[in-house]
Amino acid sequence: MNFNATFIGQLIAFAVFVVFCMKYVWPPLMAAIEERQKKIADGLEASERAEKDLELAQAKATEQLKDAKAQAAEIIEQAKKRANQLVDEETQKGHAEREKIIASGYTEIEAERNRAKEDLRKQVAALAVAGAEQILQREIDANAQNDIVEKLVAEL
Amino acid sequence: MASEYTTSEYIKHHLTNATMCSTDNGIAFNKACADAGFWTWHVDTLAFSIGLGVLFLALFKSVASKATTGVPGKMQAFVELVVDFVDDNVKSTFHGRNALIAPLALTIFVWVLLMNLMDLVPVDLIPWIAGLVGSNVFGMDPHDVYIKAVPTTDINLTFALAAGVFVLIIYYSIKMKGITGFAKELTMQPFGHPLFIPVNFILETVTLLARPLSLALRLFGNLYASELIFILIATIGYFQLPLHFMWAVFHILVLPLQAFIFMMLTIVYLSLACEDH
């Protein structure tokens, strides 16, 4: 362990190594590390932001779904109401039609009856007249007694 | 342990650096350099430390220039782990902005760690390879081929690291506090009276010099001792296997810890130099 010129050589080598390390080794490595740290920090921030966005979107979607459900329920309600209304209307219409048809039937029947009555009356009158004519052929002129026959017929 | 050595020869052989010096007859090696004095070079320390430093920088540089800010590969993830570890320690200890401290800490930590990890290479492996190369290529006597593979067991290296840190301590002290501020710090503490200036100066100078000295000696002492124990374990025959295993497992903790301590103390000292009390 003699102290000698090796000391000088080592001192120079040490200085050269430190300077080289300071100039060419440390700065690029540190730059890469810091750049990556920044990237990671940015990435974490972005992911956090995305998470928040997702939460917001989910809340929005839920809201919209609720709205849509409410709207659908309303529409169904309206449709039901409308259907009931239609059924009611139709029923009413049907009823009215029936009444009308029945009423017209009655009128027709009434008219038919009246006509039949008239016919019958005429026939009865004619028959009576014929009968009376035959009866009275022997005694009375038909025309002279016509008003009596008419009165009889009207009483029918 | 090669059998042709006695134990003390073996240990001595393992603890001797490969040296190089220039003599009157040109460049000489090892034993020829015994009288060369200060201008002797430990070629093994220099080669291993510079090799490991270049390995570290080449690895980190290649990752740095291919660094992606997206998903990193395994190598990049590992390098970033180390860089981030050092950066965290610097940020928690050194307040204020400084472009030098963090790369300095990274260089110290990884480089010292790599050099320390050479301690886990079996103690005979590298000297054996060096001996083979020395005898077969250069025709040397294998006993004359010395190699010490753990650069941090060389006091020259630990003192060079500490001296680099010490220069930075002085530089930042003067830069942040001014020459007068630095002088005041050395003379007006801990006793704030002009009468005490010499006492203060002695105390503060000792404090200042103790920092690099303790940095250098702590690393050297720990690594030298652990290397010595590894060598001692290697001398005891077959029982070395479990012992070596235990000692190596223990050093999985010790070696990074020493690198970490060196780095942390460097940061602390520089942070002290930059702060006003």
Query: Tell me, what's the pLDDT at B137?
Result: 83
Of B40, B64, B102, the CB nearest to A24: B64
Cβ within 8 Å, pair A10-B45: yes
Query: Tell me, what's the pLDDT at B122?
Result: 87
3-state secondary structure of B241: helix
Which residue on chain B is closest to A5 by alpha carbon?
B39
Closest CA to B263 of B109, B160, B111, B113: B109
Within a domain: residue B189? Answer: yes
Q: Cα distance from A53 to chain B (closest Cα, Å)? A: 26
Cβ within 8 Å, pair A21-B39: no
CB < 8 Å to A32, chain B = 64, 67-69, 72, 76, 80
**Contact of B139 with B131, CB cutoff 8 Å:** no
Residue B64 token pair:
């740095």
Which residue on chain A is closest to B151 by alpha carbon?
A10
Within a domain: residue B66? Answer: yes
Which secondary structure element, helix H or strand E, spans residue B29, and what is its range?
strand B26-29
Within a domain: residue B30? Answer: no
Cβ within 8 Å, pair B156-A17: no
**Contact of B259 with B112, CB cutoff 8 Å:** yes
Query: Tell me, what's the pLDDT at B110?
Result: 95
Give the helix ranges, DSSP H, for B118-196. Answer: 125-137, 155-187
Could you confirm whether B222 is annotated as catalytic?
A: yes
Residue of B89, B200, B222, B226 marked catalytic: B222
Within a domain: residue B168? Answer: yes
* Residue percentage of chain B with pLDDT more than 70: 98
B residues 105-134 near A, CB within 8 Å?
Answer: 106-107, 111
Cα A29 to Cα A36, B58, B72, B77, B266, distances in angstroms: 11, 13, 11, 11, 22
Within a domain: residue B25? Answer: no
Question: CA–CA separation, B206 vs A146, rounded Å?
Answer: 178
Strands B40-42 and B26-29: unpaired
Q: Cα distance from B223 to chain A (closest Cα, Å)? A: 13
Question: CA–CA separation, A130 vs A133, rounded Å?
Answer: 5
Could you confirm whether B218 is annotated as catalytic?
A: yes
CB < 8 Å to B22, chain A = none
Query: Tell me, what's the pLDDT at B117?
Result: 93
Interface probe, candidates A1, A3, A10, A12, chain B, greatest B C-beta count within 10 A? A10
Cβ within 8 Å, pair B40-A22: no
**Owning domain of residue B57:** 43-137+151-274
Q: Touching check for B98 and chain A: CB below 8 Å?
A: no
**Contact of B263 with B109, CB cutoff 8 Å:** yes
ipTM for the complex shown: 0.88
pLDDT for A140 beyond 70: no
Closest CA to B109 of B96, B90, B95: B90
Query: Tell me, what's the pLDDT at B144?
Result: 78
Query: Tell me, what's the pLDDT at B72?
Result: 85
Least confident of A74-83, A98-107, B182-191: B182-191
Could you confirm whether B97 is annotated as catalytic?
A: no
Least confident of B24-38, B48-62, B181-195: B24-38
Taking every pair of Cα atoms in chain B, the longest distance, rounded to a whole number of angstroms, is 70
* Residue percentage of chain B with pLDDT more than 90: 47
| Domains contained in chain B, number | 1
> Is residue B150 packed enough to be buried (19+ CB in 10 Å), middle (13-18) or exposed (0-12)?
buried
pLDDT for A151 beyond 90: no
Query: Tell me, what's the pLDDT at A141?
Result: 60
CB < 8 Å to B76, chain A = 32
Average pLDDT of chain B to the nearest whole number:
88
pLDDT for B1 beyond 50: no
> Is residue B116 packed enough to be buried (19+ CB in 10 Å), middle (13-18) or exposed (0-12)?
buried
Q: Touching check for B227 and chain A: CB below 8 Å?
A: no
Within a domain: residue B19? Answer: no
Q: Tell me the mean pLDDT in the region B86-96.
A: 89
Which residue on chain B is closest to A31 by alpha carbon?
B69
Question: CA–CA separation, B147 vs B215, rounded Å?
Answer: 25
Contacts of B71 (CB under 8 A, 6+ apart): none
3-state secondary structure of B121: coil
pLDDT for B269 beyond 50: yes
B residues 151-170 near A, CB within 8 Å?
Answer: 154-157, 159-161, 163-164
Work out the end-to-end distance of chain A between its first and last CA atoms, rounded to an integer number of angstroms: 170
Q: Tell me the mean pLDDT in the region A92-115.
A: 93
Cα A54 to Cα A41, A44, A46, A57, A66, distances in angstroms: 20, 15, 12, 5, 18
More confident position, B192 or A111: A111
Question: CA–CA separation, A122 vs A109, rounded Å?
Answer: 19
Which residue type is seen at B80? E
**pLDDT band (50, 70, 90) for residue B20:** confident
Cα A75 to Cα A15, A63, A69, A125, B75, distances in angstroms: 87, 18, 10, 73, 68
Q: Tell me the mean pLDDT in the region B96-106.
A: 88
Neighbours of B98 (CB within 10 A): 15
CB < 8 Å to B50, chain A = 13
Cβ within 8 Å, pair A29-B42: no
Question: CA–CA separation, A110 vs A100, rounded Å?
Answer: 15
| pLDDT (tens digit per residue) in B125-176 | 888 888 888 888 877 777 778 888 899 999 999 999 999 999 999 999 998 8
Most confident of A13-17, A119-123, A151-155: A13-17
Which secondary structure element, helix H or strand E, spans residue B273, and what is its range?
helix B240-274
Q: Tell me the mean pLDDT in the region B45-49.
A: 91
* β-sheet with B40-42: strand ranges across: B26-29, B19-23, B40-42
| pLDDT (tens digit per residue) in B224-263 | 999 999 998 988 878 888 998 999 999 999 999 999 999 9
| pLDDT (tens digit per residue) in B182-241 | 888 888 878 878 888 888 899 999 999 999 999 999 999 999 999 999 998 988 878 888
Which residue type is seen at B179? I
Q: Touching check for B49 and chain A: CB below 8 Å?
A: yes
**Contact of A145 with A132, CB cutoff 8 Å:** yes
| pLDDT (tens digit per residue) in A27-74 | 999 998 899 999 999 999 999 999 999 999 999 999 999 999 999 999
Rg of chain A (C-alpha set): 61
**Contact of B259 with B114, CB cutoff 8 Å:** no
Query: Tell me, what's the pLDDT at B277?
Result: 56
**Domain residue spans of chain A:** 39-155
Within a domain: residue B83? Answer: yes
